[in-house]
Amino acid sequence: MRILVDTNVLLRSAEPGHAHFQFSVEAIDLLRSHGHDLVLVPQILYEYWSVATRPLANNGFGLSPAEATVELTMLRRLFRLLQDERGIYSMWHDLVVQHAVRGKQAHDARLAAAAQRHLITHVLTFNTTDFLRYSFLTAVSPPDICSGAITI
């Protein structure tokens, strides 16, 4: 099964000192060991770049663009990148109108639209509640995967 990996999981897996680091790494390894296809869409990489290059003082990683390029290259080796497609915009628009999406939640709506377009039914994220409104998408958290509370 294809599982979309959210930016927050990738970011936590890149921060060994973060409280969610172990959950992120273990959940990814566990899902892979069960034969799941862990995928990204371009928006995930855009968001990762934004945090990676943001100053430490602003809750970022403080990486240079060259260092962030290395990080993105590594992510593209570790995860399959699905392409943006023309149909994603209209799906996104339908979702934001149907669910009266506001503000930053529009970014999650775009991920949901990409998942819908690529026939992805699950997203691995620490923000499971952000995806509850999308009935076609099941959000699972790394701690739930690691504990066995949820199996896919």
Per residue in 20-50, pLDDT tens?
A: 999 999 999 999 999 999 999 999 999 999 9
Question: What's the pTM?
Answer: 0.95
Task: Give yes or no for a contact between 31 and 13, defined as CB atoms under 8 angstroms apart.
Answer: no
Residues 6+ apart with CB under 8 A from 97: none
Residue numbers in the chain where pLDDT is lower than 70: none
Confidence at residue 86, expressed as pLDDT on a 0 to 100 scale: 85
Give the Cα separation of 75 and 83 in Å (integer). Answer: 15
Residue ranges and CATH numbers for the domains of the chain are 2-84+116-147 (3.40.50.1010)
Task: Give yes or no for a contact between 121 and 138, defined as CB atoms under 8 angstroms apart.
Answer: yes
CA 122 to each of CA 10, 19, 137: distance values in angstroms, whole numbers, following the listed order: 16, 23, 5
CA end-to-end span of the chain: 9
Confidence at residue 85, expressed as pLDDT on a 0 to 100 scale: 84
Give the Cα separation of 109 and 17 in Å (integer). Answer: 30
Confidence at residue 151, expressed as pLDDT on a 0 to 100 scale: 84
